[in-house]
Structure 1
Amino acid sequence: MTAQFNSQPSTPYSQLLKEYWGYDNFRGIQEDIINSIGEGKDTLGLMPTGGGKSITFQVPALAKEGLCIVITPLISLMKDQVQNLKKRGIKALAIYSGMSRQEIIVTLENCIFGNYKFLYISPERLDTEIFRTKLRKMNVSMITVDESHCISQWGYDFRPAYLKIAEIRDLLPGVPVLALTATATPEVVKDIQARLCFRQENVFRMSFERKNLAYIVRKTENKTGELLHILRRMPGSAIIYVRNRRRTKEITELLINEEITADFYHAGLDDATKDIRQHRWQTGESRVMVATNAFGMGIDKPDVRIVIHLDLPDSPEAYFQEAGRAGRDGNKAYAVILYAKSDKVTLHKRIPDTFPEKDYIKQVYEHLQYYYQMAMGDGLGCVREFNLEDFCRKFKYFPVPADSALKILTQAGYLEYTDEQDNASRLYFTVRRDELYKLRELGEDMDKLIQIVLRSYTGVFTDYTFINENSLAVRSGLTRQRVYDLLIRLSKMRVIDYIPHKKTPYIIYTRERVDRQHLQISRSIYEERKERYEARIQAMVDYVTTETVCRSRMLLRYFGEKNEHNCGICDVCLSHRAETPELSSQQIKEEIKELLRKQPLTPADIASQIEADKEIISQCIRELLEDEDLKAENGIISLKA
């Protein structure tokens, strides 16, 4: 099914689209998906990046009574979409890491009593007792699962937390599910529907072809020189993807030294820094964003003219999503990979890093017990802060394979290794309330801050309470830095115990510690996933090394889409065109006449049978008609008798 614009707005869905978004028509398969989920059918929508996925659940949810739960792993997308919905006068909320328990309870209560239309939530939150308790009281109209390929072990980005969605469905019998993804192979499409317990298979596919996007592989041993050459030649907003955090900073410094405005972005930055840099780039204040794959999902900037990969992604799925962030406005854009011979070796090296030997994984598990001094049989339900760098230093591991080992142990069900979680600041008063009032000479600012804390939060004398320094700054009229400095001072005076906001990964034991020899890592968790990973890497190598097949066709074929025509704008197509000598106008005219001697044809039929620029062919047809060598009737061209 290919993208096209539908006609007259007539349905209630069309009216909602016009009222809230200002659009007259749906695009592509949007309306088909909306009608399907609106009729209560479990639905899977395959739409490439920029295809307008959010409209497919936001419009039908507005048409239904009740709340739409949107499950997504992308905090940036949650915040962005909640903000956009609020601007349109639509009530929406989100729950994500970093919120205090009280904030979560208030949000869930609002979903029950506040007539809200959307709740965005990460898959990890689905398994909490508080969420499941409150969920039973909510009037849920539909469930939307974004990035739904994450539920499939056949997919490139499997996340165990997604498997909990099927359990949520049990709590909400009869509530339909809309699954959405921009990248899925045919086997992943089947697996998504099975794991989400679809009542029957129901898939809508939008063509993944991007006619305005030119895929280019540039072979070079001087990547930075080539990068600068491209950016100087081509104006407009750009994203540069690199493999690790260190490289984001290095490349940004290089660009700034060359007077190209740039910022860098990766998962290790705090939220405030990410927001500032994203805003600078989106407004055009900064031309280039140099980033790891943490950047891009859910970010709506339609006028990106070029996406450049300095390092090879490890799957066509990841590449297709990242490249697809260029040219979402429909204008000509470029997706460029800079490829050196050493990249192939580097890419294959990721296999043992991502799937270290089973004995190595078991050793990491054992050393984790020593790290936490965990006795045999203990552990179930224990939550521990985890510092990968410290762990690797103590037990002499390299971070990348150790990180992979912990992720495989997560897949195998022995523990849950979370990514960096935002932990809100906490404080608790170590003095009694009556002692607090006896304190003298704390100063005007300190007194004011203490009063604001006591008025804003309860239970601060009995336990740690989550606080928000920004909120305290606004209420007190002090700067955020001043609030922080005062809290540190109070902590040093032993009036409070203050734990500032930080990002911390966690290890959560999902079962008791077992002996190393009893550790089971099944074939489906290890060997089968490793084989699929190797196949994805090989597909990526084939993509960059092939010089005879249209790049767009290669990508489309990988996703199960049969495309019989070349794109005409990738580097392979352009090189073939350069090898074919251009026909003169006179030669083209003779070929047109030769074709028409056999039978009358439409202009499109003529153009499809002559190897030449379509505009030149059209011009030749016009000239032949003007010279009265040809005649045209009802769109059919024939030779004049």
Structure 2
Amino acid sequence: MPVNYHEILKQYWGYTEFRDLQEDIITSIGEGKDTLGLMPTGGGKSITFQVPALAKEGICLVITPLIALMKDQVQNLRNRGIKAVAIYSGMTRREILIALENCIFGDYKFLYISPERLDTEIFRLKLRSMKVSMITVDESHCISQWGYDFRPAYLKIADIRDMLPGVPVLALTATATPEVVKDIQKRLHFAKENVFQMSFERKNLAYIVRKTDNKQEELLHILNNVPGSAIVYARSRKRTKEVADLLKKNGISADFYHAGLNDEVKDLRQRKWQTGEFRVMAATNAFGMGIDKADVRLVVHVDLPDSPEAYFQEAGRAGRDGQKAYAVVLYSKSDKTTLTKRISDTFPDKEYIKQIYEHLNFYYQMAMGDGQGRMYEFNLEQFCRNFKHFPVPADGALKIISQAGYIEYTDEQDNASRLIFTVGREELYKFREMGPEMEALLQAVLRSYTGIFTDYAYINEESLAIRLNLTRQRVYELLIQLSKRRIIDYIPHKKTPYIIYTRERVELRHLQIPKEVYEERKERYVKRIQAMISYVTADNACRSRMLLRYFGEKNEHNCGHCDICLLKNESGLRQYEFDEIESCILEIVGENRLTPAEIVQQLNQEPEKISIVIKYLLNEGRLFIADGMIYAKK
């Protein structure tokens, strides 16, 4: 009997129809075929694996590097009555063990896991006892060394596939160039190539570059002229606050968001922005993943991203409802220098990288040959103070050491407080006379959180304190007492990055930084930065077509509403007029080599207009010039 995916969609999500491409991907993976889905930001990627996984017997393994998104999706699934659990860096061994046991015995449908955890002995041991229905690889471009965000841990997915013969894989990503698309399938051991790709073209989105020496003034001008919800992306945490303060000072409701805020603050600000309590979110690239707000009218970048992939993904958060929206970059001449400097920050020289590795070992007093499997909290600022390093290149060096396979260096994580009961419900009644505060706290916990006897639940001490009319500190003290009496296992809130040694400490002369990790990645990083600079400095090529061409999509028409297309109109040319002159020039040149004057002679148009179109075609690479003669490539 054929599976009715529409029924599952209606039952759990309340929708009656799938979006473009969703059903094709679902049918393909449902038939057991290895499948790669390329869906731009906001295309509804999660539905493509959640629906078929619910139709299959067993558990879906979801591999994703985005811990905040992982937690968010697990919570969303649980809210729909679907059993899901997540495993990521920073969890205790006991938490991981309970999560894995639940996946074997607890009728769970989804196990979200960060790629770094795939290689652990405990995971591989428990995986053998799981009935896995399918593997989903989110952000699958991370498996490709050609990709803009390569993570070596993704390469372990091929080993997991060997352990699960016959289990199909669904790879998903929002942005990938043609070479990355091929590489993803090769590295994930696809039985045969099978790609479903939505067009990257966003017809309702106008891409604009504003060249300005006064970004603050230009930002205010744009926000005062484009109504509706907006996101302003900035490079640093400090800058997000400065932007939000500037906007509020000028009567525009705004707040700021970055990874340094704790989860509660981030959730509150995100909710207020989504419900329209304030209009503009000034944010780093930590904001946007998994956010489902369709009516964003404007995305502004006050600093340049370092790749077209990152820009396309962030800009694509505007206009998901299909209505007219704007993606604007504010560009000043100094941005080019700033962006170029990122190359040396991201790829500091190898001697410096080795020095950072040595200092890391001193920091943790790591003996030679020791360390494998050890996990430590890491404070970058303190590390840099101790050893007199600048944070940005030190961060770049640690990431390269991680890429080379010596450590795992996680991003800063805000791990909310969590607890699990270590005694059964019946045993709880034996613990009498613990005092009225303790009794009230236990009752509040039992009423507020479900599944707390079989799995860790995220708790909020603040809300428990309000409910019980106690201070947050007192709730914390009571929970610690319960933990000491072994009634609960309580892990208080902690916000920190981690360093995990993935192999033993080696002597510096044995530290290998391979060509593919350093030289080849650096070369590709430089190309992406150059592509970004070309995008913002171009003055005669349709912005939409430039982005589409970067992603390997052939497009013969201009968008008609980016700043370049509008500029053509300002120069006295209407779109139809421009298109007519363009097609005549291409026809005239054909097999010939002609001077600009000879082309003008053959056309019944004003020379200035012909000159504008010729310049455009030369910039687009559709015509060429040598020795004063214009020609088309055969």
**Shorter-chain-normalised TM-score: which range?**
0.7 to 0.9
Please list, as runs of the form range in 1=range in 2, the aligned pairs for 1:390-429 lying within 5 A after superposition. 390-423=382-415
Q: Aligned ranges for residues 232-631 of structure 1 at < 5 Å?
A: 232-423=224-415, 445=437, 470=461, 473=464, 477-479=468-470, 481-484=472-475, 486=477, 500-581=492-573
Kept after mapping to 2: 8 A contact 1:77/1:299: no
Instruction: Tell me the amino acid that sits aligned with residue 367 of structure 1.
Output: H
- Match for 1:128 among 109, 116, 120? 120
Q: Is the 8 A contact 1:98 1:424 kept in 2?
A: no
TM-score, normalisation: structure 1:
0.80
- Could you tell me how far 1:365 is from its partner in structure 2? 1.3
Q: CA deviation at 1:327?
A: 0.4
What's the counterpart of residue 163 of structure 2?
A: 171
Bigger radius of gyration among the two? 1
2:187 corresponds to: 195
Aligned to 2:152: 160
2:452 aligns with none
C-alpha distance in 1 between matches for 2:438 and 2:49: 49
1:313 Cα deviation from its structure 2 partner: 0.2
Contact kept in structure 2, 1:48 and 1:206, CA below 8 Å: yes
Matched positions, count: 559
**How far apart are the structure 1 equivalents of 2:467 and 2:273?**
32
Query: Contact (CA 8 Å) 2:359, 2:387: kept in 1 or not?
Result: yes
1:449: Cα distance to partner?
Answer: 6.3
Equivalent-residue separation in structure 1 for 2:210 and 2:153 (angstroms) = 39
Indicate conservation of the 8 Å contact 2:414/2:495, yes or no.
yes
Assess if the C-alpha contact under 8 Å between 1:281 and 1:289 holds in 2.
yes
Listed one character per residue, the Cα deviations across residues 470-529 of structure 1 (whole Å, up to 9, x for unaligned) are: 3993799354614356469989xxxxx998522122222222222222222111110000
Q: 2:67 aligns with which of 72, 75, 100?
A: 75
Cross-structure match for 1:92: 84
Task: Give the direction of change, closer, same or farther, for the CA distance of 1:82–1:415 in structure 2 (3 Å limit).
Answer: closer
Contact conserved, 1:240 with 1:309, CA < 8 A, in 2?
yes
Structure 1 unaligned residues grouped into runs of 5+: 1-9, 428-441, 457-464, 492-496, 589-610, 612-641
Alpha-carbon deviation of 1:469? 5.8
SS of the residue 2:157 aligns to: helix
Please show how residues 1-40 of structure 1 align to structure 2 within 5 Å.
12-40=4-32
User: Sequence identity, in percent?
Assistant: 73
Task: Return closer, same or farther for 1:383/1:466 CA change in 2, 3 Å cut-off.
Answer: farther
Note the alpha carbon deviations across 1:399-447, whole angstroms, 9 max, x for none: 00011111111111222222223456699xxxxxxxxxxxxxx986479
Once the 2 structures are TM-superposed, how far is the Cα of residue 287 of structure 1 from its aligned partner? 1.1
Alpha-carbon distance between aligned partners in 2 of 1:217 and 1:583, rounded to the nearest angstrom: 20
Q: Deviations over 1:173-215 (max 9, x none)?
A: 1100000001001111111112111111111111000000000
Residue in 2 aligned with 1:222? 214
Distance in 2 of aligned mates of 1:50 and 1:483: 43
Question: Which segment drifts farther, 103-112 or 276-285?
Answer: 103-112
Query: Distance between the aligned counterparts of 1:321 and 1:184, measured in 2?
Result: 11
Task: Tell me how far apart the structure 1 counterparts of residues 476 and 43 of structure 2 sit (CA, whole Å).
Answer: 47
Deviation larger for 279-288 or 91-100: 91-100
Q: Report the Cα distance in structure 2 between the residues aligned to 1:31 and 1:490, rounded to whole angstroms.
A: 52
Quick check: 1:142 aligned with 2:142?
A: no
Distance in 2 between residues matched to 1:21 and 1:252, nearest whole Å: 35
Per-residue deviation at 1:167? 1.9
| CA 1:451–1:571: 2 relative to 1, 3 Å | closer
The C-alpha deviation readout for 1:300-346, integer Å capped at 9, x for no partner, is 11111100000000000000000000000111110000000100000
Structure 2 counterpart SS, 1:322 = helix
Measured in 2, the distance between the counterparts of 1:365 and 1:234 equals 49
What is the CA–CA distance in structure 1 between the aligned matches of 2:576 and 2:156, rounded to whole Å? Answer: 64
After TM superposition, give the deviation of residue 219 of structure 1 in Å: 0.6
Tell me how far 1:128 sits from its aligned partner. 3.0
1:307 & 1:467 partners in 2: Cα distance? 33
User: How big is the shift at 1:57?
Assistant: 1.4
C-alpha change, 1:205 and 1:469, in structure 2 (3 Å) is closer
**8 Å contact from structure 1 (residues 473, 483) kept in 2:** no
Which range moved further: 87-96 or 139-148?
A: 87-96
Whether the 8 Å contact between 1:182 and 1:321 is mirrored in structure 2 is yes
**Which sits farther off after the overlay, 185-194 or 555-564?**
185-194
TM-score when scaled to structure 2?
0.80
Rate the CA distance shift 1:306–1:518 in 2: closer, same or farther, 3 A: same
Aligned counterpart, 2:426: none
Aligned to 1:592: none
SS in 1 for 2:37: strand
Asked if the contact 1:82/1:94 (under 8 Å) is kept, the reply is: yes
Aligned-pair CA distance for 1:169:
1.3
Deviates more, 1:569-578 or 1:532-541: 569-578
SS at match of 2:62: strand
Is the 2:152–2:405 contact (alpha carbons within 8 Å) kept by the matching residues of 1? no
Q: Helix, strand or coil for the counterpart of 2:526?
A: helix
3-state DSSP of counterpart to 1:204: strand
Counterpart residue identity of residue 202, structure 1: N
Checking the alignment, whether the CA contact within 8 Å between 1:74 and 1:298 is kept in structure 2 is no
The 1:68–1:512 alpha-carbon spacing in structure 2 relative to 1, beyond 3 Å, is: closer
Larger CA deviation: 573-582 vs 348-357: 573-582
SS of the counterpart of 2:329? strand
- CA RMSD in angstroms comes to 3.6
1:47·1:181 contact (CA, 8 Å) conserved in 2? yes
Contact 2:465–2:475 (8 Å) recurs in 1: no
Aligned partners of 2:144 and 2:184 also within 8 Å: yes
Aligned CA distance change for structure 1 residues 118 and 508 (closer, same or farther; 3 Å): closer
